[in-house]
């Protein structure tokens, strides 16, 4: 295929992928909203209810992070840290992990994270949202919620992983001559 024709085809596919992401998000927002319980998390300031995590916002983004033991989740959280002010302008934002509050606090400080964190270690929140399978099998993802009056509704969820739309690192490295190959994120470089 000639370079001009290939470039045109690539542009078409890139536009199609963007359109598909928009359509997928729209379809997820159309799912029936299910009321969820007002879970109580552990936090640096003591127990905190899910309803309190909204602050003055009506919408909440919760990142399901596997904790300090996961280099991949760490890279995603590093990225969310950079866009946190933008996200927090539109919705409340919090990262939940199975780590203890003390471990979260220490790790967040070492990474320079600005966003709030809660521990979902001893509650069913991650499992109920589909991000924990079995006793210690935590999965990364994102859940969004909306508060209406005293009720909290689960709006949508998505998993996090290589080449998801939430982490640009994979997409940028894939454009290199050798692509991603066997590259993996590290805690320090």
Sketch the domain layout of the chain as residue ranges: 33-170
Cα distance between residue 154 and residue 145, in whole Å: 5
The whole-number pLDDT of residue 1 equals 81
Report the CATH number of the 33-170 domain. Answer: 3.40.30.10
- Residue 73's alpha-carbon distances to 31, 62, 66, 94, 132, in angstroms, are 27, 13, 6, 14, 15
**Block means of pLDDT (10 residues each) for the chain, length 189 residues?**
88 92 91 96 98 98 97 97 97 98 98 98 96 91 97 97 94 94 95
């Amino acid at each position: 295929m000639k370079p001009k024709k290939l470039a045109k085809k690539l542009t078409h596919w890139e536009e199609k992928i963007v359109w598909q992401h928009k359509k997928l998000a729209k379809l997820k927002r159309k799912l029936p909203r299910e009321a969820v319980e007002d879970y109580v998390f552990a936090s640096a300031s003591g127990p905190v209810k899910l309803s309190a995590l909204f602050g003055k916002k009506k919408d909440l983004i919760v990142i399901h992070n596997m904790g300090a033991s996961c280099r991949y989740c760490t890279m995603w959280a590093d990225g969310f840290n950079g866009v946190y002010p933008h996200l927090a302008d539109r919705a409340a934002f919090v990262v939940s992990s199975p780590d203890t509050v003390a471990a979260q606090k220490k790790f967040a400080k070492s990474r320079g994270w600005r966003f709030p964190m809660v521990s979902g270690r001893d509650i069913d929140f991650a499992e109920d949202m589909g991000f924990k399978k079995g006793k210690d099998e935590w999965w990364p993802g994102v859940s969004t919620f909306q508060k209406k009056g005293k009720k909290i509704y689960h709006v949508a969820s998505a998993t996090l992983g290589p080449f998801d739309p939430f982490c640009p690192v994979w997409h940028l490295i894939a454009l290199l001559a050798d692509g991603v190959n066997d590259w993996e994120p590290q805690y320090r470089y």
